[in-house]
Amino acid sequence: MSAPFANLYYKRAVGTARACYICNKPTTTVLSTQPVVDFIYTCDTHLSDPGFATLQAPVASPTPSASAEEIAKIKAEWEAKQKRKQEAEKEKKDGEEKKDDEKRDGEKDKTVSPKPTSPAPVASGSATPKHDKYVLHRQLYTMRLTDHRRRRQQKEVDVLAPKLSGPGLSVPKQVG
């Protein structure tokens, strides 16, 4: 039988502090599995302890690099687009100068001038934040599996117990 969840936990920050699994101090750091089946609130100091968890080295994913030709082509397109924008703004500005007063022209120059100087926003390669990956120590992971199995079995008992009890039978409640 395979484990219900893998021994790979992601470090995340939460809004409300809860007790650390090890020392019971309030902490906002939680380790959780990817489909959130199991989670552990833990202090940052415990994460550096090799007896608790080990930080997984980030896997270097091959990023597709653009060739020099593609970069030059995109750069040329962008420069042409910027020239067209500047020409359109100059034409618009010249038309407004003839119609408006000098005061309005001065105000519009101040508001229009920052636009061409600001660079176009560049889309970043990764939109999702990367979380640190941890692998729990073997014995701690076994404890978490045991706790998970015990909770699952308790839920099954709670569901089946009312069906098994009859008029003369009584099912004792489990404590703990």
Per-residue pLDDT of the chain (176 residues; tens, 9 = 90+): 567 888 899 999 999 999 999 999 999 999 999 888 899 999 999 988 888 999 987 765 556 666 778 888 888 998 999 999 999 888 887 777 666 655 555 555 555 554 444 444 444 444 455 888 999 999 999 999 999 999 999 999 999 888 887 666 666 666 76
CB-count exposure of residue 175 (10 Å: 0-12, 13-18, 19+): exposed
Prediction pTM value: 0.52
Q: Which helix (H) or strand (E) holds 65?
A: none
Please give the structure tokens belonging to residue 98.
């003839």
- b/e per residue 137-155 (b: at least 16 CB within 10 A): eeebbeebeeeeeeeeeee
- How far is 42 from 9, CA to CA, in rounded Å? 12
Residue 81 to residue 100: CA distance in whole angstroms: 28
The two three-digit tokens of residue 93, written as one number: 């500005």
Number of Cβ atoms within 10 Å of the Cβ of 24:
11
pLDDT at 15: 92
Give residue 111's pLDDT.
55
| 3-class secondary structure, 169 | coil
The per-residue b/e assignment along 67-101, b for 16 or more CB within 10 angstroms, e otherwise, is eeeeeeeeeeeeeeeeeeeeeeeeeeeeeeeeeee
Length of the chain: 176
